[in-house]
Structure 1
Amino acid sequence: MKNSEIKTMGGYFQLQLSKGKEYYPDLIKLNTSRNALEYLLEIKKYSKVYLPYFTCEVMLEPMLKMGIPYQFYHINEQLEPILDFEVAEGECLLYNNYLGLKEKAVKTLTESLKNVVIDNAQAFFSAPLPGVDTIYSCRKFFGVPDGAYLQLNTEGRLNIDMDTSTYRFSHLIKSIDYGIERGYADFVENEKGLADNEIRTMSLLTHAILDGIDYEYCKTRRMENFSFLHEKLSAVNELDFDFPEQAAAMMYPLLVSKTGVKEKLIEEKIFVPTFWPNVFRWTTVDTLEYKLAKEVIYLPIDHRYSLTDIEEMLGILKKLL
């Protein structure tokens, strides 16, 4: 046995994390979802990619890096593709499972169209359909600095190095000692640092954290919080798509006519995001995508919050409506 293979014994204690089982043990483990798309494109050699206007601009990185032509498409009020174009042989269509609420649309689309890639970055708990290329992002749902999963419906694999995550960890540590706000600047820097990274496999640190998560608790908490909010807000919610009865959704989307609600919620320390600022550059004010980015309030419902917390948030919200 070489010295490098001898297990270290003694010394100081390392960070101790619970040992369990990750949620998708059989999928390809990578460092970011945009690199999962790049990995897929490297293997599949698609000549063109169709992607929605309503998506995060980081998903353009692989096509720009690889010189692959791409074309945007619009979605309808059901948040489903307007297929006024043909996806030719050797091309693919990328579709977002928005907030984890479009599982039925994913199934219908993949049954009717070839070469569909499902972006489940907002739908961690939506299981991949058999034989359907599917991408996941871990940090959108859990306290990890990076990490992604990829289901790839071919045997081809890339020979790539492993990533390291130590230098991306400060915002997670600061959030425990000082709170979310004090760690936000580090979070922003971490997000910037993920741009244009090489495709690598998931780091040991990220994998160790993902091994210790109680996924059933996280899933149940999201489902209960989502159902509670939908019951209380469906009567005033102006979004016109069909909500599922239950969903381990990323967030709860609310559209109301009153302006300024999003900004006032942030003043109350309820940090609601904008999905996605780049949409304002890609579209015009008369498009549905612009409205979804500008006006929809995406309310947090994740495992950090009990129903009591959600009720308190709802009380603040109702005073603003």
Structure 2
Amino acid sequence: MRDPLAPAIGGYFELELGPGRGVPHARALQYRCARAAFLDLLVRGRPTNVWLPWYLCDSMVRAARRAGVGIRRYRLDERLHVLDAAPEAGDWLLCVNYFGLCERAVTDAVARFGAHRVVVDNSQALFSPAGPALATIYSPRKFVGIPDGGQMVTTLFAEEPAVRDTGSVEHCRHLLERLAGDVERGHADFTRAEERLDDDGPPLAMSTLTRRLMAAIDFDRVRQARTRHFTLLQKALGPSNGFDWTPADDAAPLCYPYGPVAPGMREALREQRIYTPCYWPEVAADAAVPAFEASLARDTLFLPCDQRLTADQLSRLIDAVQAASRGEPAQQRPSATATP
């Protein structure tokens, strides 16, 4: 009789993966995605209300609704610090480390409201350590090519969900298409993979596949490259950037936010196969959102600074942004390489 728990010997080969150098937050609870971690935290912790910034991914708002807790909203000041939240006894506050560049905002929120009620959203700040807080949430899939993945450090409980995600194998197609160089063709599969993580099911633990993929990644290289690329972009584009970014020397940001930009600039870059994400279009489309937060979503370019970029690609990116800022037509290059 076959033993389903015995390790397989022989047969076809799996994808070859080399050894990594350690996974960030290895002792954190491992989830399918950051939203699942937040939902699990709310369901188990049962705050009276959770204070959320207006500038926030809608999946986190839906998690709070799904948990059945009260939702209060707060505005940001121009430094992206909490402006007007007023949590009471029994309330929690979600503070976002936007783009991995807002460590001071997190420190300020903890000092003002107390670590016992602040949940730190480090989804865009994978390499920021977990400091004093009720919980700190991470999203490694925003930094490296994996099909799913969220992490949470918390003092509230010590067990991740008993059931692991088993759907990640079917949602790796976009990763393989990107690896094969077919960027545009893989975008539809990428969108479907993202939609899978936004379902209304119960919180799941990180898939076995994703744990294995993460263990093979050199995260030290990822961190160093992002720090280096952000610094180069800041040196070239900082004088024309409306944002005054002064990150810590060892910060490894998600992206390089640049703005405000004129309408059509994102499309001008796309014509050159330079792809920039939107954080978050639903915010700009919501009439209830304050003007400052709406402008962040509508008028900011989030330029890549990730570990895939070469020196030539960085130069092309800088040239394209500067030309688009001046209203010059796109420069077509036969050897262009896409860098979403």
* Same fold by TM-score greater than 0.5: yes
Residue of structure 1 equivalent to 2:246:
243
The residue matched to 2:309 in structure 1 has which SS?
Answer: coil
Q: 1:207 corresponds to which residue?
A: 211
> Contact 1:145–1:169 (CA<8 Å) still a contact in 2?
yes
Distance 1:158 1:42, change over 3 A: farther
Structure 1: gaps spanning 5 or more residues: none
Q: Equivalents in 2 of 1:139, 1:89: separation in Å? A: 34
Which SS does the other structure have where 1:3 is aligned? coil
Summarize the Cα distance change of 1:47–1:243 in structure 2 as closer, same or farther, 3 Å threshold.
same
Q: CA deviation at 1:9?
A: 1.2
- Structure 1 counterpart of 2:12: 12
User: Could you tell me whether the CA contact under 8 Å between 2:51 and 2:74 is conserved in 1?
Assistant: yes
Matched, 1:191 2:194: yes
Pair 1:49 & 2:53 matched: no
The answer to which of 252-261 and 211-220 deviates more is: 252-261
Q: Using the alignment, how far apart are the partners of 1:142 and 1:282 within structure 2?
A: 30
For 2:101 and 2:125, the matched residues in 1 are separated by 8
Structure 1 pair 146–257 and aligned structure 2 pair: CA distance change class (3 A): closer
Quote how far apart the aligned CAs of 1:245 are.
Answer: 5.1
Deviates more, 1:245-254 or 1:157-166: 157-166
- What is the rounded CA distance, in whole Å, between the counterparts of 2:120 and 2:248 in structure 1? 22
Partner of 1:75: 76
Structure 1 residue 119 corresponds to structure 2 residue 107: no
Give the direction of change, closer, same or farther, for the CA distance of 1:158–1:237 in structure 2 (3 Å limit).
closer
* SS of 2:162 mapped into structure 1: coil
For structure 2, the 5+ residue unaligned runs are: 326-340
Conserved in 2, the CA contact under 8 Å of 1:124 and 1:137?
Answer: yes
Amino acid at match of 1:18: G
- Decide which moves more: 303-312 or 222-231: 303-312
The answer to whether structure 1 residue 177 and structure 2 residue 180 are counterparts is yes
Residue 197 of structure 1: SS of its match in structure 2?
coil
Question: 2: CA distance between counterparts of 1:24 and 1:256?
Answer: 34
Say yes or no: does 1:133 pair with 2:135.
yes
Deviation digits for residues 189-246 of structure 1 (CA, Å, limit 9, x no counterpart)? 111111223211111100001001111111111011101111111111112x552253
Q: Indicate how the Cα distance of structure 1 residues 302 and 159 shifts in structure 2: closer, same or farther if over 3 A, else same.
A: closer
Aligned twin of 1:143: 145
TM-score under structure 1 length normalisation: 0.94
Structure 1 residues 282 and 272, CA gap change in structure 2 (3 angstroms): same
Alignment of 1:265 onto 2:266: no
Identity of aligned residues (%): 31
Task: Determine the C-alpha separation between the residues in 2 that align with 1:178 and 1:289.
Answer: 35
- RMSD of aligned alpha carbons: 1.9
Tell me if the contact between 1:43 and 1:156 (Cα under 8 Å) persists in the aligned partners.
no
Given that 1:118 and 1:135 are in contact with CA atoms closer than 8 Å, whether structure 2 keeps it comes out as: yes
| Greater Cα offset, 275-284 or 221-230 | 275-284
Q: Once the 2 structures are TM-superposed, how far is the Cα of residue 256 of structure 1 from its aligned partner?
A: 4.1
How many residue pairs align between the two structures?
319
Name the structure 2 match of 1:320.
324
Shift of 1:6: 2.2
Name the CA distance, whole Å, in 1 between partners of 2:292 and 2:161.
41
> Aligned letter for 2:89?
E
